[in-house]
Structure 1
Amino acid sequence: MLKKIFLLVAANLFLLAQVKSDSLKEKDYDITRYGAKSNSEVLNTKAIQKTIDAAADAGGGKVIVPEGTFLTGSVILKSNVELHIQKGGTLLGSTKVEDYTRLKRRMALILADHQENISITGEGVIDGQGRELALYIDSLFYVGKLEPRLYNRSRKRPNEGARPEIIEMVKCKNIQIKGVTIKDGACWLQTYDRCEDLVMDSIRVESDAYWNNDGIDVSDCKNVRITNSYVNSADDGICLKSHTEGCWNDNIHIENCTVRSSANAVKFGTVSRGGFKNVVIKNIRVFDTFRSAIAIESVDGGCLENVLVDGINATNTGNAILVRLGHRNKGDVGTLRNVTLKNIKVEVPFDRPDKNYELRGPDLSVLHNPIPSSITGIPGHCVENVTLENIEIIFPGRGNKGMAIIPLDRLDDVPEQETAYPEFSMFGELPAWGFYVRHVKGLKMKNVSVKAMAKDFRPAFVFDDVNGLNLQDIDVQGGENMPHIILKDVKVEYLSVDKKLLQQ
């Protein structure tokens, strides 16, 4: 009797396991089973969307893009669905803008709005064919099929809103982007707006296809991790934005990433309406980047606070550090406070570091000497509580008076540029070659070393309107034999520097 019971239980367990196994198999949804065709000119949008819908209707599942190339327009990702692109598989974006749609914001190849538990994974590729798509949109303007308001005549290209992104997710929760390669966008490659619990790991971004090719844009999101990824983009690499008043990026962690950019490597802003809180950035490698290795900006009324940047190694990069509080908007001035930057090493070249990009960022319109790092607020509104520790920056030197000059007795000639677009070059010529600091309250610089590889007539540091300056272990190499620390309207908290460096 016991033997019969044992056999019956074993049989039932086997059947349950078989049912479970079959159920798991049914959770995989291959797009070719729903009509998708590889390596053809057939548009697979309907077949891929049908596959996603089937998985979503069943309560969730994995939509598989197998080996092959599948042409598609916009598809909408839904809750509990994983879009898995296998090694050797490619989702190829259409080059016809008519094949794209938008949900509430911008057009994109992959869209999601108010969805939960969604993923894009695998070792395959999402290729936006951005240059071909953008040029097609451009051609529509000249035949009268693109509204003039969507075209920028001065820059001779379609506006950003007229060009689809590759990924756009809005107000989604529990997102994972892992392993995939995302390449060649017509605009920003991917935007995550007002999302929560976003994990991006081990992805590769490659896009020198067209203008505004931001690698990763995170706007007003909470609980974000971006790790172990490679970004090569013709615009900002990893960019935190804040488009919505009353919203902000909160609890953001970026670590172990490599960035190459024809703009800024890691950037806060430029759009900064709500703000940025509790951000940690660690162990970032930067190379061949035109603008700043790290740019921290609040210029649209937002609040930026509690930021830690620990570990940046940048070579062939146009600027090391930019910290800027500005006032582009017509409302209240924002805030920028409680920022720590440490363990940073940057090598700044004399020539353009992004010269090998096909689409390089616009060069500066005025003559200037090599531009220093800067920390600046505006009159009546200071950047507050900034710490720089263990910083080493190697500059090219070669500043000369025949190129441009702001004498030390005319420091007030440096323009405030309160409403200007924030950028390391925004002030034009600056009177220092290492650091220019103005309108700051509470600044500690400890173990900061700057080196000029050739002569430069300017001092290494200029501090103007700084309340609570703490300098310890400041090392200056190169430049010229002169006082290298200039203080104007400065209240000193603590100074421990070689007196030969100092002029008050």
Structure 2
Amino acid sequence: MRDFGAKGDGVTLDIEAIRKAVAAADKGDVVVFDQGHYLSFSIELKSHLHLIFEEGCILEAADPKRHGGHYDAAEDNPFDLYQDFGHSHWRNSLIYGIDLEDVTLAGRGRIDGRGLTREGPGSRWKKRAGEFPESMRGMSAEDMAILSPHVTEMAGQGNKAIAFCRSRGVTIRDLTIVNGGHFAVLATGVDDLRLENINIDSNRDGIDIDGCRRVIVRGCRVNTPNDDAIVLKSSFALGERRPCEDVLIEDCAVSGFDLGTMIDGTRGCTQVFSPDRDRVTGRIKIGTESSGDFRRIKINRCLFERSRGLALETVDGGVIEDVEATNLSLREVTTAPLFLRLGARLRAPEGAVPGAIRRVAIRDMTAEGILPDYSALIVGMEGHPIEDVTLERVRLAYRGGGAALGASPPEKDDAYPEPSMFGPTPAWGLWTRHVRGLTLKDVALTAEASDARPRTLFEDTTLHEKGA
């Protein structure tokens, strides 16, 4: 990199030198960031390029207000109606690649996105139902304007650390990413994607995998108190209902510790709430963007700490099927330990109908320190039940102390899916509604303090086998 004039002193803007190094690379060449502190705006990658960040290297996202430059403009996207600004654009990133193949980002260096913004406008979808979580009702216009600014405020801004679109054969490994903007890593329509041994401590989403096929996420640590840590999506950003399928997530740890304190090892616990006014996030999730399908997803040997629990959500017409989650350990669960939700927000092209959730198996799951408000939830819709769910060798330990409730919560089919959407749940351990084929084998639900609600409540639910 220094051969092309990069200073690496943390003061000089090195963007032109970086772009020259990338442009000069031949097929299969390696471009190296050696030890130093590089300041840059957008870096566009090309196929058959291997970018190496050596230990001791910092690539810092420049700040347009301070450094006299700007990020590449967000490209026009005729399909940006059904998902927010962040999901709809890729060029407005620190590092990005579009229509590429055979690209590697690797090394023990650090990407610091301090000059990126974590914010972006919501979708242009006019119906607006389900656009924001129920927990944000009553938020002032001023606060909403900060979280969802007007699109004109995004000019020159970057809001992703790494973004890939319509690509094949992408590997990201061993990097550390801090303050990654809206997304530390966004992969949209990428096939044969590998993310391994990445450390992320970020101010919004960690890893977002949108409409990708043949994906491995292995050995990653992701701390995101303000949003989801590892999330699979199937938005309409590419103008089609592209499925997210054949995904393996294993040996990962997700958390909602104070920003920056996973990386420095202090694991701070002072932040209580996320911007959506629910407690800190940091979870593994399927959804919320779900116009396409999710198939053959495996989640294995993952640790959740001080975070919301495992969530499987389809509300825009997509089908979630053949999901296996095994060997999960959850500590200090900030909302529900398990949330399966089939809804009908239908933020999708006209003609969309409710999707489905079927053939889901959760095995060898342990959760402790669960806050008392929310049980595990499995909630479909009338006429559209969740089907064939197995919970086996599941241990859920609640804090207890909840008060008795009155009537069962309303359906809220078109609402944004979060456990808090129903308010405190009518059971303290497990609540299900509109479920066909629920199998419970060796399920233990315990509470530290007495709770006035029933332990379980099964509404419009067919139990195949009950051994809990």
Distance 1:271 1:348 in 2: 29
> In 2, are the aligned partners of 1:103 and 1:111 still within 8 Å (CA)?
no
Normalising by structure 2, we get a TM-score of: 0.81
In structure 2, how many angstroms separate the alpha carbons of the residues matched to 1:137 and 1:168?
15
Deviation at 1:121, TM superposition (A): 0.2
Output the aligned Cα RMSD: 1.9
Partner of 1:72: 40
- Matching residue of 1:115: 100
1:286 maps to 304
Matched, 1:127 2:108: no
Preserved CA contact (<8 Å) 1:276 1:305: yes
Write out aligned runs for 1:348-427 (5 A). 348-350=369-371, 370-401=373-404, 405-406=405-406, 410-411=407-408, 414-427=409-422
1:137 positional shift: 10
Cα separation, 2, equivalents of 1:457 and 1:207: 39
| Map of 1:83 onto structure 2 | 51
The answer as to 2:201 corresponding to 1:206 is yes
Task: Extract structure 1 runs of 4+ deviating beyond 6 A.
Answer: 135-138
Picking from 462, 470, 487, the partner of 2:465 is: 470
CA 1:264–1:419 in 2, change beyond 3 Å: closer, same or farther?
farther
User: Which residue number corresponds to residue 362 of structure 1?
Assistant: none
Amino acid at match of 1:392: R
Q: CA deviation at 1:39?
A: 1.4
Q: Which residue of 2 aligns with 1:61?
A: 29
2:127 is aligned to none
Structure 2 equivalent of residue 326 of structure 1: 343
Equivalent of 1:48, from 5, 18, 41? 18
Give, as a single letter, the amino acid of the residue that structure 1 aligns with 2:117: A
Render the CA deviation track for 1:298-341: whole Å, top value 9, x for unaligned: 11001111100011101111221000000001621111111101
- Deviation, 1:233, is 1.1
Q: Distance in 2 between matches of 1:82 and 1:93?
A: 20
Match of 1:436 in 2: 431
Q: 1:158 offset after TM fit, Å?
A: 5.5
Please give the per-residue CA displacement for 1:123-151, whole angstroms capped at 9, x wherever unaligned. Answer: 00010005xx439999xxxxxxxxxxxxx
1:51-100 C-alpha deviation (Å, 9 max, x unpaired): 01111xx2231110010100000001111111100000011101117521
Of residues 285, 288, 305, the one that matches 1:267 is 285
* Contact 1:264–1:295 under 8 Å retained in 2: no
Q: Report SS of the residue matched to 2:8.
A: coil
- 1:100 lines up with 2:71 in the alignment: yes
- Identity within the alignment, %: 31
Which of 223, 233, 241 in structure 1 is aligned with 2:233?
A: 241
Instruction: Give the match for residue 249 of structure 2.
Output: 254
Aligned residues of 2:314 and 2:342 also touching (Cα < 8 A) = yes
Q: Tell me the distance in 1 between the aligned counterparts of 2:57 and 2:182.
A: 23
Deviations 1:189-211 (A, max 9, x none): 11000000001111100113xxx
Match of 1:10 in 2: none
- Structure possessing the higher radius of gyration over alpha carbons: 1
CA distance in 1, matches of 2:438, 2:385: 11
- The one-letter amino acid of 1:100's match is Y
Q: In structure 1, list runs of 5 or more residues that go unmatched.
A: 1-30, 139-151, 351-368, 475-504
User: What is the one-letter code of the residue matched to 2:291?
Assistant: R
Q: State the partner residue of 1:497.
A: none
CA distance in 1, matches of 2:375, 2:38: 48
Q: Structure 2 vs 1, CA of residues 321 and 40 (structure 1 numbering), >3 Å: closer, same or farther?
A: closer
Distance, in Å, in 2 between the alignment partners of 1:264 and 1:394 is 20
Aligned partners of 2:411 and 2:428: how far apart in 1? 18
The one-letter code sitting in structure 2 at the alignment partner of 1:101 is D
Name the structure 1 match of 2:178: 183
1:136–1:199 CA distance, 2 compared to 1 (3 A): closer
* TM-score of the aligned structures, taking structure 1 as reference length: 0.75
Aligned residue number for residue 149 of structure 1: none
Asked whether the equivalents of residues 190 and 216 of structure 1 are also in contact (C-alpha less than 8 Å), the reply is: yes
For 2:8 and 2:143, locate their aligned partners in 1 and report how far apart those are by CA, in whole Å: 40
Contact 2:55 2:108 in 1 (8 A): yes
* Structure with higher helix content: 1
Q: Which moved more, 1:334-343 or 1:88-97?
A: 88-97
CA distance in 2, matches of 1:214, 1:32: 32
Question: Secondary structure, in 3 states, of the residue corresponding to 2:425?
Answer: coil
Equivalent AA in structure 2 for residue 251 of structure 1: D
Label 1:54 to 1:159 Cα distance change in 2 as closer, same or farther (>3 A): farther
Cα separation, 2, equivalents of 1:228 and 1:135: 25
Could you give the per-residue CA deviations for residues 474-502 of structure 1, whole angstroms, max 9, x where no partner exists? 1xxxxxxxxxxxxxxxxxxxxxxxxxxxx
The correspondence for 1:155, drawn from 128, 141, 144, is 144
SS at match of 1:429: coil
The 1:313/1:394 distance shift into structure 2, 3 A limit, reads: same
Q: Secondary structure at the match of 1:422?
A: coil
Unaligned runs of 5+ in 2: 76-88, 122-140, 257-279
